[in-house]
Chains A and B, each alone.
Chain A
Amino acid sequence: MINQADFFTVLNKHRAQAIVLPTMQASIPWQEASERAELDLPVNNVMGKASSVGLGVALALPATRVIVLDGDGSLEMNLGSMITIAGKQPKNLYHIVMQNGIYGMTGGQPIPAAERVSFATIAKGAGYAATYEFDDLEDLTTRLGEALAHAGPVFITVRVVPKPRIAASRGGGKPSPKVRSTGAAIVAFRQRFAK
């Protein structure tokens, strides 16, 4: 398994001009690792929808690579989005799931079928153009660039070390004030990209 911080270091080196959409528990660590905050669009207000927002961005900006940084619990909430993505075949979309088998924000409860589910198999069945799986930092470091150079939609599984947060108190699901708000990021993106 790979430490999330190490994965983010490698991804940051490879993202170049790509737009990155982190979600939920990954948003703050990615914000700390990212050197291109103006190209980051965190999706925190609504669990499970990062893949949908990412598809929209990819279709709007076909000349720009778009990287969705999904969680496995989040993806299971919106699994149909993989079919929708495969249906549109955006060549610039890279859908990464960080698979740790738990709901990290709520105390580490296992996600459904945590021990069995293969998102890569689902992605292949849905019709993504390519799938990659990484469980080892050296392999990730060597081949992530290749995965991000392949024509999309590409699905990438990164097995990461589970890091459950201490169970949140009531209301703890609200996005941290430390992370850039989704709404502010959408406004900034639109000001940048609207013609």
Chain B
Amino acid sequence: MTTHEREPDLNPRTILAQLKKNGVTHVVYLPDTESSGLYQAMLADGTVEVIPITREGEALGIAAGLYAGGKTPVCVIQNTGLFESGDSIRGLGLECNLPIVMLIGYRGWTRRGPTPDSAGRHTEPMLQAWGLSYYLVETDADTERISLAFRDAPAARKPVVVLIGGEYAA
């Protein structure tokens, strides 16, 4: 096996298996480099309905409606979009106590090394400012943390974030 053919550290099918295990029905989604493999895996699997959006601020709104209608949505967006979603997190996620799990592509993450990317530097301080708890997933070995997020969200009565720190690969 060459370097280019090695198994990825974080396989999108492992992520998808976690979503299915937790009864996810819909994925509200805007593509980013961290989740392009997950998108392909979801389409190939066909179990969850993918809802493509134009901007991340829509995500929690659509998820709120799906939740009200009895479904189990997750939001899959990048950290840049998390910043754009601020008023939705405040007004819907927090004010309405929505137990929605959000998978956030951690652009700029360098395993706590220095990063020139402001998206990476500001992500965790922003989550802490909102009082949102979060887990970091970098490899397949971490993915059980996604189930922990689904366990925590109803008890916390607010969104719980899973930061995707490893690049997906199909």
Which of B6-14, B86-94, B111-119, B145-153 participates in binding chain A?
Answer: B86-94
A189 vs B65: C-alpha distance in the bound complex, in angstroms?
9
Contact of A57 with B69 in the complex, beta carbons under 8 Å: yes
Residue B49 lies at the interface, judged by CB distance under 8 Å to chain A: yes
Indicate which residue in B58, B68, B98 contacts A84 across the interface (CB closer than 8 Å): B58
Bound together, the chains give a CA A53 to CA B69 distance in angstroms of: 10
Contact with A along B58-95 (1 / 0, CB 8 A): 10111111111111010000000000000110111001
Whether B128 is near chain A, meaning CB under 8 Å from some CB there, is no
Chain B min CB distance to A91 (Å): 15
Is the pair B91, A57 in contact by a Cβ cutoff of 8 Å? no
A56 is an interface residue with CB less than 8 A from chain B = yes
Could you tell me if A58 and B65 are in contact, using CB atoms closer than 8 angstroms?
Answer: yes
**B-side contacts of A187, CB under 8 Å:** 97
A110 at the interface (CB under 8 A from B): no
Collect the chain A residues with CB atoms within 8 Å of residue B57's CB.
48-49, 78
Count residues on chain A whose CB falls below 8 Å from chain B CBs: 36
Chain A residues lying within 8 Å of B62, measured Cβ to Cβ, are 52-53, 55-56, 59, 84
Q: How far is the CA of A195 from the CA of B69 in the complex (A)?
A: 10
Interface residue from A47, A78, A183 paired with B58 (Cβ < 8 Å): A78
- Please count the residue pairs between chain A and chain B whose beta carbons lie under 8 angstroms apart in the complex: 117
A84 touches B54 (CB 8 A): yes
Whether the pair B96, A60 counts as a contact (CB closer than 8 A) is: no
* Interface range, B side: 20 to 34
Query: A25 near B: Cβ within 8 Å?
Result: no
A56 lies within 8 A of B67 (CB): yes
B58 touches A49 (CB 8 A): yes
Most buried by A among B62, B73, B91, B95: B62
Write out, one digit per residue, whether chain B residues 122-152 have a CB within 8 A of any chain A CB (1) or not (0).
0000000000000000000000000000000
B65 engages A52 (CB within 8 Å):
yes
Q: Which of chain B's residues have a CB closer than 8 A to the CB of A189?
A: 68-69
B53 on the A face (CB < 8 A): yes
Beta-carbon contact of A52 and B61 below 8 Å: yes
Q: If the complex has contacts A45-B95, A80-B58, A195-B70, are A60 and B65 also in contact, measured as CB distance less than 8 A?
A: yes
Contact: A45 with B51, CB < 8 Å?
A: no
* A55 and B92 contacting across the interface, CB-CB below 8 Å: no
- CB neighbours (8 Å) of B20 from chain A are none
Please state if A53 and B51 are interface contacts (CB–CB under 8 Å). Answer: no
**Which residues of chain B are within 8 angstroms of A193 by Cβ–Cβ distance?**
68-70
Judging by beta carbons under 8 Å apart, are B65 and A81 in contact?
no
**Which of A46, A48, A54, A187 neighbours the largest number of chain B CB atoms within 10 Å of its CB?**
A46
Contact A60 B64 (CB under 8 A): no
The chain A residue with its CB closest to the CB of B95 is: A45
Q: State the B residues within 8 Å of A (CB).
A: 26, 49, 51-55, 57-58, 60-71, 73, 87-88, 90-92, 95-98
Question: Interface on A for B, CB 8 Å cutoff?
Answer: 41, 43, 45-49, 51-61, 78, 80-81, 83-84, 87-88, 181-183, 185-187, 189-190, 193-195
A-B residue pairs, 4 tightest by C-beta: A56-B65, A60-B69, A52-B61, A46-B91
**Apart from A53-B61, A84-B52, what are 13 other A-B pairs with CB-CB below 8 Å?**
A46-B95, A49-B61, A49-B88, A52-B65, A55-B62, A56-B67, A60-B26, A78-B61, A83-B54, A88-B51, A186-B67, A189-B69, A193-B68
